[in-house]
Amino acid sequence: MAGFDENIVREYFELNGFFVRQLRKYLVQSGKKRSQQAIDLLVYNPSAPVDGVPAGFQLFSADMTRIRRAVVVVKAWHSSRFTPAMLKSSSRVFEFLKKDVLSKAEGYFSYQADELDPEWANGPAFTKILVLPGLPTSDPQRSESIELLKASGVDAIITFSTILENLLRHVEVNHSYQKSDLLQLMRVLKIYDMVKEPQMNLFN
């Protein structure tokens, strides 16, 4: 069963026009390869330009129209921001950047290219996106964190605050979301004034 945080991110990409493949997670015994466990989502936006690239390292919802295909990893450590010290001490953050993991991801994309979009096989390399709670808000910690992520091979990050704000803005109180527990919950919170427009400024 997919985790709650991964489902939030999946809803976000689908809302922004992506086809999403959510990889199944299995219990893996120690000593076995964990390459399939490192990636959470594969996303593909058929409307994005083939040569499109995001404007900056930190992504916002306006950047989604320029991402063609990507591997997405969700690190939902909501109780703390990522700091340089955390990035240096936790190898789990960068597991999805290992060669065996990325080659496995390329295999998934190649299969889907044959089935869905012939040009995909010759398209640009996928973007490697890390979803995280946030980065330090002030320098030098923020700049150092970004440099560490870039040096490790991360192409872009997107924060949960950006994702949640975008979902809240798109949920309408007069529309039923019976196929999505998450969106239906957000709708109910809006109906009962538990979430108001000015409050969403707190996510910025």
Chain segment 16-47, per-residue pLDDT in tens: 999 999 876 554 444 444 444 567 899 999 99
The model carries a pTM of 0.77
Give the H/E segment covering residue 190: helix 181-191
Q: What is the pLDDT of residue 87?
A: 73
Q: What is the pLDDT of residue 35?
A: 46
Q: Residue 74: exposed, middle, or buried by beta-carbon count in 10 A (0-12, 13-18, 19+)? A: buried
Least reliable range by pLDDT among 74-78, 149-153, 180-184, 197-201: 197-201
Place of tokens 């409307």: 47
Residue 100 has pLDDT above 70, yes or no: no
pLDDT digits (tens, 9 = 90+) for 136-190: 888 898 999 899 888 888 899 999 999 999 999 999 999 999 889 999 999 999 9
Q: What are the boundaries of each domain within the chain? A: 4-160, 171-204
Q: What is the pLDDT of residue 124?
A: 56
